[in-house]
Amino acid sequence: MKQDIILAGVGGQGILSIAFVIDNAALAEGLFFKQAEVHGMAQRGGAVQSHMRLSDRAIWSDLIPKGEADMILSVEPLEALRYLDYLRPDGVVVTSSTPYKNIPDYPDLEKVLDAVRKAPRAVIVDSERLAKEAGTAKAQNIVLLGAASGFLILKEAGLRAMIESLFKGRGGPVIEANLKAFDLGRKAASGS
Amino acid sequence: MGRQILLGDEAVALGAVHAGLSAGYSYPGTPASEIMEYLVRLSAERKDFTAAWSVNEKVAYEEALGASYAGKRALVSFKHVGLNVAADPFMNSALTGANGGLVVVSADDPGMHSSQNEQDSRYYAQFAQVFCYEPADHQEAYDMTREAYDVSERFGLPVLMRLVTRLSHSRSSVETREPRAQNSLNPGDRNDWTLLPVNARRRFGLLLDRQAEMTRFSEGNPFNVLRLNDRDRTLGVIAAGVGYNYFREAWGTDEGLPSFLKVSTYPLPGSLVRALVEHVGTVLVVEDGYPFIERQIQGLFGIAGKTVLGRLSGALPRSGELSPDSVRKALGLEPLPAHGRSGLPLAGRPPQLCAGCPHADTFKALNKALESYPGAGVFSDIGCYTLGALPPYNAIETCVCMGASVSMARGASDAGLRPAVSVIGDSTFAHSGITPLLGAAASDVDMTVFILDNATTAMTGGQPSFGSGERLKRIVEGVGVAPEHIRTIEPLPKNHDKNVGIIREELDHRGLSVVIAVRECIQESRKRRS
């Protein structure tokens, strides 16, 4: 049993928080994992990705080979497209439909979403709307994690526990909002 | 002790603490910063060892060397180019030797994710003739760091730990072991540590005498693994550090696995390399960074009857970071089937200055002021403000190494370029900008130095700066810059016109001026408020 995931987004969108939840849930389930991430220069509003590998056996490479990724999980639709050559022919793309436009030449959003829909399996969720509905616009990353959760080899309860752990210093309402964001994302994905 | 999730950097840091670390020093730099970040956090909790950011890497190295002299275990960490800054004490410490265990962590950045070059620190270990470890994964990063302290004390030498970005910034779980106690105070012998020629010659002789023993130790070290395949003797693989991971990943199965030697320590385990090379017809060398092993095996003339493949031969790309894909290709395996790109042209998303960044306002004012000086040269430095090279600012012409903006502006001014402008951040100024300014002030060189004082080391995540605020002003006065030509601006949109005026006045001054742009980093001010 193994699962390789490319996490994608723009610096500051909370990719590493998604990774934190998955890493810790994997450890709690006794799985091996490796998670390569980007720091430094690349974080300044640039494209960021993290290679997340889960397995019940030891993992060699920190990087996912091209063609091995089971999932691209992106907090931003254009960024989802950047790593398609890593996706298995039968892989799934889970992405937000909310563009992050900090560049002058952002392509037409409909074309971007059309390109996402050409993936063998594509789940597109309106993370901005769902995060606001959950009570905090900051929780778009957790909406996406919820949307991806049905595809993950990790238990839902384990993920929820780690979301609580991630936000435990921020107080009850923040934890509640993020758990709701997770649930809304999960529900949106199951309906799509 | 149980399993915990650690970055590769953190595994090294925790390994050092569990080996009985008394003092760690560092200057921030990607991908090494998280080593000291972790030590600082742990030290604040435990309060039984020192963890300190230093003014620069040379200072950090010497601080660690002092702790080693005193008999305590010390660590110094930096990015690969930091070892250039610390090269002087590093080279000489191979002669003084280490008293308490001294581990030097140099994190290379193959692929230049966040660096000016992709130099390979293994050459430094060879240059200084000291032992070097190259971990492939997190567990090895922890275990090897612990062992490195034993080796340092056994050979009485500093030990280099070579990391690469891919391990430094990858997370995995690590099984830790019982920590051991720190050393007691036990200063070194003055005859070993005073490198007068009479002592230095003797110490160098001892270093040379130890080389054969170090190679034997490397040959017997269980981190180096030799597996010979007797059924298929066509191909053998020598794989070092993370290169070993890519080799095993690409092959995928134990079935028909080619003969291989996993290299984890240097000097190279010569007898193991020989055993592998003799066993096979073709040797593929998989190493991230420079073709360090490949070049040594090939020598000038190659090996008769053998084919050696690697980054020199072209089997692997000569530059950039290795990947499971490039190694797969070098092994002669077909690419995996993949979904493939969408065909839609994807706009790039390069890093940029944050919205509201004070540097942006400084660059806007500087660009405006320079409109009437088409011959100007703007020399810059290492930090977030290096992003001023990109649109929409296009504000700087150079980025070379820490502090170079000040010295290069002086050289360009001497050469006749006017106005010669330097743009440097407060932390970089403290690191390596003060000394060139001291020189420029002594002869009142016609140049204008901008110190962008955002009160932090921003690019690497907000480590402390040693020369900020009032202290920075006093430093600039203290090196001899005329007080009337030390100007302060607050880079805010509302001050734009006023700032342009001040900058023009100082560009027109035929002598040395320093303009200090004071406004806190937007990220740090947010962190402070949240």
* B269 min Cα distance to partner chain A (Å): 23
| Residue at B232: amino acid letter | D
Out of A66, A106, A116, whose CB is closest to B335?
Answer: A66
Which run of H or of E encompasses A94?
strand A87-96
What DSSP designation does A79 have? H
Q: What integer pLDDT is reported at residue B339 of this predicted model?
A: 84
Among B385, B523, B530, B376, smallest CA distance to B462 is for B523
Distance of CA A45 to the CA centre of its chain: 17
Would you call B114 and A11 a contact, using CB atoms and an 8 Å cutoff? no
Q: How confident is the model at residue B343 (pLDDT cuts 50, 70, 90)?
A: confident
Residue B340: CB atoms within 10 A of its CB come to 12
Render pLDDT for A4-21 as a digit per residue (tens, 0 to 9): 999 999 988 999 999 999
- Based on its alpha-carbon atoms, the radius of gyration of chain B, rounded to whole angstroms, reads 25
Would you call A41 and B34 a contact, using CB atoms and an 8 Å cutoff? no
Beta pairing partners, A169 = none
Among B117, B314, B246, B230, smallest CA distance to B238 is for B246
Q: What integer pLDDT is reported at residue B301 of this predicted model?
A: 94
Q: How confident is the model at residue B1 (pLDDT cuts 50, 70, 90)?
A: low
Q: Which residues of A touch B344 (CB under 8 A)?
A: 81, 107, 111-112, 115
What 3-state class would DSSP assign to B23? strand
Q: For all residues of chain A together, what is the average pLDDT? A: 94
Strand order in the sheet with A121-125: A121-125, A87-96, A69-74, A2-10, A47-55, A32-36, B170-175, B3-7
Q: What integer pLDDT is reported at residue A191 of this predicted model?
A: 73
Q: For all residues of chain B together, what is the average pLDDT? A: 97
Task: Report the C-alpha gap between B324 and B340 in whole angstroms.
Answer: 17
Q: What percent of chain A has pLDDT over 90?
A: 89
Place of tokens 């690191």: B431
Task: Report the C-alpha gap between B227 and B284 in whole angstroms.
Answer: 15
Q: How confident is the model at residue B234 (pLDDT cuts 50, 70, 90)?
A: very high
* B149 min Cα distance to partner chain A (Å): 27
Q: What integer pLDDT is reported at residue A43 of this predicted model?
A: 67
Q: What integer pLDDT is reported at residue B377 of this predicted model?
A: 97
Among B113, B112, B134, smallest CA distance to B122 is for B134
| B93-152 residues touching A, CB cutoff 8 A | 113-114, 137
Nearest-CA residue of chain B relative to A47? B349
pLDDT at B194 over 90: yes
Place of tokens 């900051």: A138
Give the residue, A43 or A82, on which the prediction is more confident: A82
The sign of the dihedral angle between the CA atoms of B1, B146, B83, B59 is positive
Helix, strand, coil % (nearest 5) of chain A? Answer: 45, 25, 30
Would you call B172 and A106 a contact, using CB atoms and an 8 Å cutoff? no
Among B245, B239, B264, B259, smallest CA distance to B324 is for B245
Which run of H or of E encompasses A159?
helix A156-166
The 8 Å CB, 24+ separation contacts for B45-50 are B48/B182, B49/B17, B49/B21, B49/B22, B49/B23, B49/B24, B49/B182, B50/B22, B50/B23, B50/B24
DSSP string, B128-184: HT-EEE--SSHHHHHHHHHHHHHHHHHHTS-EEEEEEHHHHTEEEEEE-----PPPP
Q: How confident is the model at residue A117 (pLDDT cuts 50, 70, 90)?
A: very high
Would you call B31 and A39 a contact, using CB atoms and an 8 Å cutoff? yes
Chosen for mutation from B10, B79, B172 (greatest number of chain A CBs closer than 10 Å) is B172
Which run of H or of E encompasses B3?
strand B3-7
DSSP string, B412-450: HHHHT-SSEEEEEEHHHIIIIIHHHHHHHHHTT-SEEEE
- Cβ pair B507, B419 in contact under 8 A: yes
ipTM of the complex: 0.95
Is B527 part of the contact surface with chain A (CB cutoff 8 Å)? no
Out of B323, B349, B460, whose CB is closest to A47?
Answer: B349
Place of tokens 């950090």: B60
Task: Report the C-alpha gap between B430 and B517 in whole angstroms.
Answer: 15
Q: How confident is the model at residue A38 (pLDDT cuts 50, 70, 90)?
A: confident
pLDDT at A50 over 70: yes
Task: Look up the pTM and report it.
Answer: 0.97
Would you call A88 and B249 a contact, using CB atoms and an 8 Å cutoff? no
* B181 min Cα distance to partner chain A (Å): 29
- Cβ pair B8, B169 in contact under 8 A: yes
Render pLDDT for B380-430 as a digit per residue (tens, 0 to 9): 999 999 999 999 999 999 999 999 999 999 999 999 999 999 999 999 999
- Cβ pair B77, B36 in contact under 8 A: yes
pLDDT at A187 over 70: yes
* B459 min Cα distance to partner chain A (Å): 6
Task: Report the C-alpha gap between B357 and B519 in whole angstroms.
Answer: 9
Among B226, B252, B238, smallest CA distance to B311 is for B238
The size of the A-B interface in CB pairs under 8 A is 157
Would you call A35 and B250 a contact, using CB atoms and an 8 Å cutoff? no
Q: What integer pLDDT is reported at residue B32 of this predicted model?
A: 97
Is B343 part of the contact surface with chain A (CB cutoff 8 Å)? yes
* A26 min Cα distance to partner chain B (Å): 10
Task: Report the C-alpha gap between B384 and B82 in whole angstroms.
Answer: 17
Task: Report the C-alpha gap between B410 and B242 in whole angstroms.
Answer: 42
